[in-house]
Structure 1
C-alpha cells in the first residue's frame, strides 16, 4: 500500500491530480483499486466539483486549520457507515459501499465543509417532521468520494479515526472497486465484506 498523503500538503488537489496520469488501457476499476493518495483518488473520480471560495471567509485555499475544523465537524456531527443493498431477484447477491454523512441546521457550515475538504457532496434538505422546528440539512458522500474525504481528514480525526482506518482496510481487503458481477466474486470476499459491514455497525454503536 502506498504511503498516506499528509493533509499538510495544501496544493490544489485538481492541479496535483493533473500530474497523475494512467494509461488509457487501464480499466477504471483497476485504476481506482490502485489509487491511494488524494491526487490519485481525485484523478479516477468522475464528475467531480469543488467550491473555489469559502462561503464564510471568502478565501480560496484552505489551511491546515480549516481541514482540522472539518475533521472536528466530522468527529462530532458525522456518520461513517457501510451500506448494504440486496438487489431484487438476485438472492444473496449484495452490494456494499462506504458512505459518510454530516448533518447540520446551517447550510453554510456544510458548504464550508465541502470547501475545506476540496470536494462537493450531495446535500439534501428534507422538510421538518411534525416535532421539528428547523430544517436539518444532510451532506452525503459515497464510494470513492467518501474514501477521499476520510483520507483528506485522517490525521486530524479523533473519534472517527478508527472508522477511517476500518474504511481503508475494507476498501483494500474487500476488492471494493472490482465489479465482476454477483457470481464472479468469491464467497470469501463476500464474507469479508459482510464482516466489515457488521464491524462498522459495532463501531457506530460504541462497541
Structure 2
C-alpha cells in the first residue's frame, strides 16, 4: 500500500487561497440561518431515538426484582437421574447463573462420589429448572431466568416460606422430564382421591351399622 500523507485541514484551506468571507463560511456554517434550519430537520429523527418512558408500575416491579437479587435464598435441588442426588444450600442470586450452576454440579458430584463424571453425574448437557403452578418445566439458563424464578417464588410462597425446589436434567429431555413430572403428580392426586373416597365409604358403612 503506498504511503499517503495527510495534510491538516487548516493547511489545505490556506493552500487554496480562499477569500476571507468563504473561510468564515466554512468555519461558521452553523451561523447561516439557512444551514441552521436544515440541521434542525433531523429533530424528529432524534426524538424517535429517545428511550420510551417507563411506567411507574413497571419501574416498581423492576426495582423489587433487583432488590430480590441482593438477598440469600435457600434452594433444594434434585437430580432427575440420580435418586440420592438431592442437595440443599443458600445462594445469593446476584452472584450469577454460572456460579449457581457450578455450585449445584459440585454438590451433586460430591454426594454421589462420582469421580468419572464431568457434568452433573450423567446430566449432559446439564440444565436446571423449576415447575410453576401449571406444572410446566421452566428452564433457568440466564441471570434473568434466575431472577424470574426468585420473583415467582416470592410471589407464590410469601405465606409458606420454604426452600426453592429445582431439578437438574438433560436439556435434550426437557419435554420428557416435564411429561413424567405431570404424570407422577396426576397419579399422586388420583391416589389421594381414591383414599379419601375409600375412607368415606367405610365411614358410611360404620355409621349405618352403628344405627341399625
Q: TM-score normalised to the size of structure 1?
A: 0.23
Query: Which structure's residues are more often helix, by fraction?
Result: 2
Q: TM-score normalised to the size of structure 2?
A: 0.23
Instruction: Give the number of the structure with larger relative contact order, counting CA–CA contacts within 8 Å between residues 6 or more apart.
Output: 1
Q: Pick the structure with greater CA Rg.
A: 2
